[in-house]
Amino acid sequence: MASRNVTIGLMFLSQTAVGILGNFSLLYDYLVHSYNDCTLRSTDMILKHLMIANSLVILSKGIPQTITAFGLKYFLSDFGCKLILYIQRVGKSVSIFITCLLSVFQNITISPVNSCWKDLKGRAPKYIGFSISLCWILYMVVNSIFPLYMLTKWSRKNTTEKRDHGYCSVGRDKITESIYAGLFIFPEVVFSIIMIWSSGSMVLLLYRHKQRVQHIHSIKVSPRTSPESRATQRILVLVGTFVTFYTLSSLLSVHIALFSSPNGWLVNTNELILVCFPMVSPFILMSRESTACTLSRLCFVC
């Protein structure tokens, strides 16, 4: 086995282990709080579903890529291949939507009373559960339509052109793939633009708030950041991380799609970047005080 493949396999394995530990620990923390308090805040509900979507992406992409990098290729059947790709797409799409929803909801939460969001401040939490449920159902249904169509089409004719994923290979149809990509890329771009706009609004709100309260703090007393500001700052870092990794992945995906046989290191780099956001997002959202405590509790339970 080549040393390069071993290195890539160890990188995928490290990403998968760290990502699953982080997402499961944060999800466990929310479940414990919901069990003890019998209620979940709206942001906690959003983050719980974000951790679930991230875990789906990590498990469906990290584990097969790790096995492939260590030398075992094409170990999935045709059904298993389609199932893995289906879980990847659903997890990725839901993760993008929920990250956008989290950014917009936090923007509404910290907005002043006289802002244009004042009418939505009280009503927004009521629509969180419905929006998340609709997102899951919509993406699960839409992602199942095209695989079923392609399965029927491939069964009628012999397909010679295939896309190689390493752990399996599936037939390709450029027209259908272009329509499929357009239906998903356009909403993802729209969600990314909304996230950038919402993040810019939150940065402006925090700056104005800091300017207003700066005069009430004396030189001797160091101002403490409010919980809302700390939560907003973590969400801003989360959105910035998402936009960075998503932009890099999109550029590499376009480059790979333009070439019928791209370089292996380029494909592996793109796969590593795709797992980066699901891996680091729980550690961004964890507070400094609860990170070690949550991880130790999860390790003790395991």
- The pLDDT, as a whole number, for residue 217 is 52
- Evaluate if residue 293 carries a pLDDT over 70: no
**pLDDT band with cut points at 50, 70 and 90 for residue 95:** very high
- The pLDDT, as a whole number, for residue 221 is 43
Mean pLDDT along residues 112-128: 75
Least confident range of 11-20, 146-155, 215-224: 215-224
Of 268, 269, 213, 206, the C-alpha closest to 237 is 206
Question: Are the CB atoms for 281 and 17 separated by under 8 Å?
Answer: no
- The pLDDT, as a whole number, for residue 99 is 92
Say which residue the tokens 């700066």 belong to.
214
Ranked by mean pLDDT, the top range of 70-84, 95-109, 247-261 is: 95-109
- The pLDDT, as a whole number, for residue 96 is 92
CB count within 10 Å of CB 9 equals 19
- Evaluate if residue 296 carries a pLDDT over 60: no
Helix axes 288-301, 3-37, angle to 10 degrees: 100
Q: Is 71 left (phi over 0), alpha (psi -120 to 50) or beta?
A: left
- The pLDDT, as a whole number, for residue 163 is 67
- The pLDDT, as a whole number, for residue 134 is 93
Least confident range of 2-11, 168-177, 216-225: 216-225
- Evaluate if residue 176 carries a pLDDT over 70: no
- The pLDDT, as a whole number, for residue 223 is 43
More confident residue, 289 or 87: 87
Least confident range of 10-24, 173-187, 188-202, 280-294: 280-294
Ranked by mean pLDDT, the top range of 121-135, 141-155, 213-227, 255-269 is: 121-135
- Evaluate if residue 48 carries a pLDDT over 80: yes
- Pair of tokens at residue 187: 């909403």
| Paired strand residues for 192 | none
More confident residue, 22 or 110: 22
More confident residue, 174 or 141: 141
